Amino acid sequence: MSLLFSPWHLPSPRGGITLPNRLVVAPMCQYQAVDGCATDWHLMHWGNLLNSGAAMFTIEATAVLPEGRITPQCLGLWDDSTEAALGEHLKRARALAPATAVCIQLAHAGRKASSAVPWQGGQLLSPDQGGWQTVAPSPLPHLPTEAPPTDLSMAGLVQVREAFVAAALRARRIGVDAIELHAAHGYLLHQFLSPLSNQRSDAYGGSFENRVRFPLEVFAAMRAAYDGVLGLRLSATDWVEGGWDLPQSEAFCQQLKAAGCDFIHVSSGGVSPQQKIALGAGYQLPFARAIHASSGLATVAVGLITEPDQAEAVLQAGDADLVALARAFLYEPRWGWHAAARLGGTVTANPSYWRCLPREAQAAFGQVAIGGR
């Protein structure tokens, strides 16, 4: 029996959600929002991936404050306008695939905010280019050629923490099933974790206990306000000597579990241009495996997992509980269908698509091809 197409329960204080399979669409920035508001691009994108065969779809990094956006075109959830736009587009998309769970990744980009979109270079934008002053744990730029961020004051820390809580409550109001707190890829909460970007001398910098303090405070505040499935995405290592690493990640995840974390999504890198990543198929699996074993948290594995047999092997080996794919779903939005046919699993899909199935794939839907006029 395929583990990839077996159910998995994600717990939460209010009961959690049971997923019909262990396949997750990872969050992927689209850079198509207007003033933080979702657009028809998101309606098309979400509707497409909600019919992918994955049990859960994750909405891209969604900023909790305007200055927390990676780019001026990034999605947001910080006021009534962004909530209304996201909620209406999501409601319309979900009507086409009501069985798929929806997670949203809430984020603040910190010093990596105010950037151009990737196809326009991705570099820091100045105010006269439509950018803004960035904030971070310490006034250290991501690149030496960039203007430094402003280090967050105590009042700034409170504002950011409260913004994450407010966004979580907005997400609950629009009916998402789960929230993923973004503490990876060099964005604000990762910047607090890493000694490469956090050189504060107060209670939020220096020792491991101090560097994890603010991310844990944000998580705890969200947990107190939100009783749905709540997890965190983590960069398990900076891939830089002297930076954040796997042993620190394992210790952090044990504290997250004690704080009520429901799952951990294990990635890596992003905080330093000095990173030296050992890219290869499944290159992040050793981190997921170690964190899964040491913390006991429900663990999501991601990173150059592209083939159904590879995803199945992750679960058979006990390296993780769920498998997430990102770009593979952009290239092949029906990846989950192909995986089900390959591994003998079943998925659901809108019956308008049933007639497209080749005979060898029909068992994956429990249906036979139907004719039409």
Residues tagged active-site: 187
Of 309, 336, 356, 362, which Cα lies nearest the Cα of 48? Answer: 336
What distance in Å separates the CA atoms of residue 16 and residue 331, rounded to the nearest whole number?
Answer: 31
What distance in Å separates the CA atoms of residue 49 and residue 335, rounded to the nearest whole number?
Answer: 10
Of 137, 128, 147, 143, which Cα lies nearest the Cα of 108? Answer: 137
Report the length, in residues, of the chain. Answer: 373
Q: Residue 8, class by beta-carbon neighbours within 10 Å (0-12 exposed, 13-18 middle, 19+ buried)?
A: buried
**Strand 8-10, strand 17-19: pairing:** antiparallel
Of 331, 350, 298, 360, which Cα lies nearest the Cα of 22? Answer: 298
Beta strands (DSSP E) in the chain are: 8-10, 17-19, 23-25, 56-63, 101-107, 135-136, 150-151, 178-183, 229-235, 263-267, 298-301, 322-325
> Residue 86 corresponds to which tokens in the numbers above?
């996201």
DSSP β-bridge partners for residue 37: 34
